Homo-oligomer: A and B are copies of this chain.
Amino acid sequence: MKVLPVLVFAVAAGTAVAATPKNPGELLAASPATDWRKPDPDRTLYMELPSGRVVIELAPDFAPQHVANIRTLVKAKWFDEGASVYRLQDNYVAQWGDATEKKPLGEAKKNVPAEFTRPIAGMPTFTKLPDRDTYADEAGYAAGFPVARDLKSGRAWLVHCYGMVGAGRANELDSGNGAELYAIIGSAPRLLDRNVTLVGRVLRGIELLSSLKRGTKPPLGFYEKPEDTTPIASVRFAADVSEDKRTNLEVLRTESATYKALVEMRRNRKDDWWKEPAGHVDVCNSSAPVRDAR
């Protein structure tokens, strides 16, 4: 069989532990348990679709006010009635929430200040990637999220990589509130960085969004027929779901030695299939691996 090699950091249970890991799978299998963390259930959302569960880790270090507003909505079970995935534009985004914008937000705010960037000072430990970035002075990872940084202004921001989740907004900068969210399902639209607030990352289940039927209404990819939308059954914090019904995951710590070794291995793949190691890697090809909790 002619195949493209494993690029996605799929971490299969039971991968043999190799003395000298030759590829990312072996490296992760040999990694110490302490290099992995369990996402905080108070920062982890479960969005239940007819096809299954989408698990989202929120990023309060980068978007505290948006995360607080989403918390208010979720705790009030706001997404459980009338919310849907209502836009699917190929090579771009899946968008969900209340498409009508008419549903009262209850205790949640209608307008949340833009959180497009934050100060570099005080941010979580940053693991800088060794290669130049097209868009920013530096790119790397912090707390498991892709981050870019501008040294002159001293600002940092989350990057629009595949699977990142953001809060849709209208033209007014403070018009996003988390009642309409999107996930990136295509080539990283880095042009959006610093123009809209990213609030987290899909840890599992992005394929439940990325494989949905595409919307055909030009130019934005909304569905033309209401029956094409995907109803959302509920959105809950993992902490509010009984333990036996949780999706127990672990994320590789992006400040760990294993992560750094993984980046280096990804820059220079040397296992059998490869002819010409890239010698470089970009931020959206360096995402933090996720696995079932051990």
Shortest Cβ distance from residue A138 to the other chain B in the assembled complex, whole angstroms? 12
Copies per assembly: 2
Choose from B116, B162, B189, B266 the contact partner of A275 (Cβ within 8 Å): B116
What secondary structure prevails in chain A residues at the interface with B? loop
Choice from B2, B10, B90, B182 contacting A210 with Cβ under 8 Å = B90
Are B219 and A92 within 8 A (Cβ)?
no
In the complex, A246→B169 CA distance in Å? 40
Interface size on A, residues (CB 8 A): 75
State whether A135 and B282 are in contact (beta carbons under 8 Å apart), knowing that A170-B2, A173-B275, A214-B207 are contacts in the complex.
yes
**Any B CB within 8 A of the CB of A1:** yes
A59 at the interface (CB under 8 A from B): no
- Nearest CB of B to A266, in Å: 7
Instruction: Return A31 CB to nearest CB of chain B, in Å.
Output: 17
Per a CB cutoff under 8 Å, which of B194, B284, B285 touches A276?
Answer: B194
A-B contacts, 24 of them at CB < 8 A, read A1-B180, A2-B169, A2-B175, A2-B176, A3-B168, A3-B220, A4-B192, A4-B196, A8-B89, A8-B91, A25-B219, A91-B163, A91-B206, A131-B134, A186-B210, A187-B188, A189-B285, A191-B278, A194-B275, A194-B278, A195-B274, A195-B275, A207-B214, A210-B214
